[in-house]
Amino acid sequence: MRTLLLCLLATAAVALAQDNPLSAFNKRVYGRVEGVLLRSAEKMPEENYSFKPTQAVRSFGQILGHVADAQYMFCSIALGEKNPAPKIEETKTSKADLTAALKDAFAYCDKAYDGMTDASAVQTVKLFGADTPKLGVLTINNMHMMEHYGNLVTYMRLKNIVPPSSEPAPQPQPKK
């Protein structure tokens, strides 16, 4: 019975992705970015969260806080909700607090990505004063996160840490 249920759910997921190729693709990209950002947060030692290559830029931790804050902004717009505006960048500094806040921001955004269909994707909302399709808002969220992941990559490289996207792919385990 459990196997049958899993097969039915998997079939439904594939069918949904086929019916909603644009929103399904955007959600896959979001999942990839979520993975590299969370692994970056975990890989960087606590003492480097205040690291700035120059005084003119955000610290590693401030970037994570900024990304989390921005996710609430973008995803609240796509959801048609008031932005919770937790001000993470301004209030959190420790690795534990920033990692938890980033995870919470992803959990909030999951609702927007999970609920998006290609039909709802074309509904327009206001983003920075302009009419924007909901899918466009989530696409910009993905782009914004990747922009700042690029910053984090530089910071990690300066600290001799291999960024998650540069790690070797896991090797398949031999079958026993």
**Which residue type is seen at 9?**
L
- For the entire predicted model, the pTM comes to 0.85
How far is the C-alpha of 108 from the C-alpha of 65, rounded, in Å?
A: 15
pLDDT digits (tens, 9 = 90+) for 12-66: 455 445 788 999 999 999 999 999 999 999 999 999 999 999 999 999 999 999 9
Instruction: Decide which of 1 and 154 is more confident.
Output: 154
In the structure encoding, which two tokens stand for residue 50, read together? 């205040």
State the residue for tokens 């466009």.
136
Architecture, CATH, for domain 21-160? Up-down Bundle (1.20)
Ordered alpha helix ranges (H), the chain = 2-19, 21-43, 60-79, 88-91, 95-115, 118-121, 134-158
Band of pLDDT at residue 2, cut at 50, 70 and 90: low
pLDDT digits (tens, 9 = 90+) for 94-128: 999 999 999 999 999 999 999 999 999 999 999 99
